[in-house]
C-alpha cells in the first residue's frame, strides 16, 4: 500500500516537473514498477472463479473445436509447477483422432466410455518411471541422477506417481486457466492403456483427463467438501 502511494507520488512529481508529455511515460513505467514490486500479488477473484469456484468436473461436451495450440499452452503452463528435484516425470498422450479413441475404448470402465468417446480430446497423463534419465538436463546443478538410478522400481514408482499426480493437478488448473474444462478419470484398465500407448517404454499411465468445453446444463449440483476443521489442523 505504502509502495503504491510512493509510485503515484513519483508520477505526480514527474508530471509537475516535466509537463503532461510525461503522462504516458510515467503511466507505463509506474505500471511496470508496480508489477516488479508486487510479485506476491494475489490473482483476482474472477481468476479464482475460473480456476476453482466455478470450475467443475465435466462429462458432457459442447460441439466446439479444441485447437491443438491450446493443448500446447496448457502443457507449457503445467510444466512450470514444482516436482521433486525438478524430475518432471509426467508424459502425456493426447488422444484426439477417432482411430486413437477406438484404441482407448476397450480400456475404459463402462461408465467412462460415452463421455470419453465424445470428448474433443482425452489426455493420458502418464509417468516415466525412469525419469532419472533426464535429470542431468533438468537438474544440472547437482548429480541428481545418481540419487535415483539404482533405486528399486517400487520406490521409483512412488516418486513418479507422486510427482506426475502433482503435475496432473497443475495440468487441470492450467487447462481451466486457458478456458478449457476437464473430466479426470481413474476408471480404466492401466495395463491395457500401457500396452496400447506406452508399449516398449518406461512410461506408465497415471490417470485420464477428458478436455473440451463442458456442457454446464448437464452438471449435477456440486458435492460438498470438507470444512477446514474437518480436514486441517494448525499445530
* Residues in contact with ligand FMN by the rule CB under 6 A: 56-57, 111-112, 184-187, 207, 222-223
Closer CB to ligand FMN, 199 or 225, in the complex: 225
CB of 44 to ligand FMN, least distance (A): 21
Task: Report the residue number, 112 or 196, with the smaller CB distance to ligand FMN.
Answer: 112
**C-beta closer to ligand FMN: residue 56 or 145:** 56
Of 94, 42, 101, 37, which is closest to residue 69 (Cα–Cα)?
A: 94
The helix or strand, by DSSP H or E, that contains position 13, with its residue range, turns out to be: helix 2-18
Q: By C-beta, is 196 or 205 nearer to ligand FMN?
A: 205
Q: For residues 173 and 145, what is the distance between their CA atoms, to the nearest angstrom?
A: 29
Residues 6+ apart with CB under 8 A from 87: 131, 132, 134, 135, 138, 139, 144, 148, 159, 160, 163
Query: How open is the CA angle 176-82-231, to the nearest 5 degrees?
Result: 70
In angstroms, the first-to-last Cα distance of the chain is 31
Give the residue with the Cβ less far from ligand FMN, 138 or 173. Answer: 173
CB of 187 to ligand FMN, least distance (A): 3
Tell me the CA distances in angstroms from 26 to 23, 29, 39, 188, one per residue in order: 5, 5, 20, 57
Least Å from the CB of residue 175 to ligand FMN? 13
| Closer to ligand FMN by Cβ: residue 178 or 216 | 216
Is the sign of the CA dihedral 172, 173, 178, 180 positive or negative?
positive
CB of 167 to ligand FMN, least distance (A): 13
Closest separation in Å from C-beta 225 to ligand FMN: 8
Q: Shortest gap between Cβ of 112 and ligand FMN (angstroms)?
A: 5
Q: Are 94 and 116 in contact (CB under 8 A)?
A: no
Q: Which is nearer to ligand FMN, 95 or 144 (CB)?
A: 95
Instruction: Yes or no: say if 197 and 129 are a contact pair by the CB < 8 Å rule.
Output: no
Q: Report, in Å, the least distance between residue 34 CB and ligand FMN.
A: 35
Taking CB atoms, the residue at the shortest distance from ligand FMN is 187
Amino acid at each position: 500500500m505504502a509502495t503504491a502511494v510512493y509510485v503515484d507520488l513519483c508520477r505526480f512529481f514527474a508530471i509537475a516537473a516535466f509537463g503532461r508529455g510525461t503522462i504516458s511515460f510515467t503511466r507505463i513505467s509506474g505500471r511496470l514498477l508496480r508489477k516488479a514490486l508486487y510479485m506476491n500479488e494475489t490473482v483476482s477473484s474472477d481468476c479464482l472463479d475460473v480456476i476453482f469456484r466455478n470450475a467443475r468436473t465435466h462429462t458432457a461436451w459442447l460441439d466446439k473445436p479444441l485447437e491443438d495450440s491450446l493443448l500446447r499452452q496448457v502443457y507449457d503452463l503445467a510444466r512450470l509447477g514444482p516436482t521433486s528435484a525438478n524430475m518432471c516425470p509426467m508424459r502425456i498422450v493426447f488422444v484426439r483422432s477417432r482411430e486413437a479413441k477406438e484404441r482407448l475404448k476397450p480400456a475404459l470402465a463402462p461408465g467412462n466410455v460415452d463421455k470419453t468417446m465424445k470428448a474433443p480430446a482425452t489426455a493420458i497423463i502418464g509417468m516415466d518411471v525412469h525419469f532419472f534419465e533426464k535429470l542431468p538436463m533438468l537438474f544440472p546443478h547437482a548429480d541428481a541422477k545418481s540419487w535415483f538410478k539404482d533405486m528399486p522400481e517400487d520406490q521409483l514408482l512412488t516418486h513418479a506417481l507422486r510427482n506426475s499426480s502433482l503435475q496432473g493437478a497443475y495440468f487441470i488448473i492450467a487447462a481451466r486457466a486457458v478456458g478449457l474444462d476437464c473430466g479426470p478419470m481413474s476408471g480404466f484398465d492401466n495395463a491395457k492403456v500401457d500396452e496400447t500407448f506406452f508399449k516398449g517404454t518406461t512410461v506408465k499411465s497415471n490417470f485420464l483427463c477428458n478436455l473440451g468445453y463442458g456442457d454446464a446444463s448437464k452438471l449435477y449440483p456440486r458435492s460438498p467438501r470438507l470444512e477446514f476443521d474437518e480436514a486441517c489442523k494448525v499445530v
